[in-house]
Chain A
Amino acid sequence: DVKVTQSSRYLVKRTGEKVFLECVQDMDHENMFWYRQDPGLGLRLIYFSYDVKMKEKGDIPEGYSVSREKKERFSLILESASTNQTSMYLCASSSGREAPEQFFGPGTRLTVL
Chain B
Amino acid sequence: RKEVEQDPGPFNVPEGATVAFNCTYSNSASQSFFWYRQDCRKEPKLLMSVYSSGNEDGRFTAQLNRASQYISLLIRDSKLSDSATYLCVVNGNDYKLSFGAGTTVTVRA
Contacts and interface: CB of A to CB of B under 8 A. Distances in A.
Nearest to A105: B43
Given A100-B32, A101-B34, A104-B43, A41 B96 contact: no
B94 A97 contact: yes
B17 interface: no
A102 interface: yes
Interface stretch (B53-61, B73-81, B98-106): B98-106
Contacts of A43: 44, 87, 99
Interface in A76-100: 90, 94, 96-97, 100
Among A100, A101, A104, A105, max chain B CB count under 10 A is at: A100
A33 B97 CA distance: 10
Interface residues of B, number: 21
B93 interface: yes
Which one of A33, A94, A101 has the highest number of Cβ atoms from chain B below 10 Å of its Cβ? A101
Given A42-B100, A43-B99, A97 B93 contact: yes
Interface in B39-95: 41-46, 49, 87, 91, 93-95
A97 B99 CA distance: 17
Contacts of A75: none
Contacts of B46: 101-103
A42 B99 contact: yes
A112 interface: no
A90 B44 CA distance: 9
B97 A104 contact: no
6 contacts: A42-B101, A42-B102, A43-B44, A100-B31, A101-B34, A107-B42
Interface of A: 31, 33, 40-43, 45, 48, 50, 58, 90, 94, 96-97, 100-107, 109
Given A42-B87, A90-B44, A104-B44, 6 more contacts: A33-B96, A45-B96, A94-B95, A100-B32, A100-B97, A105-B43
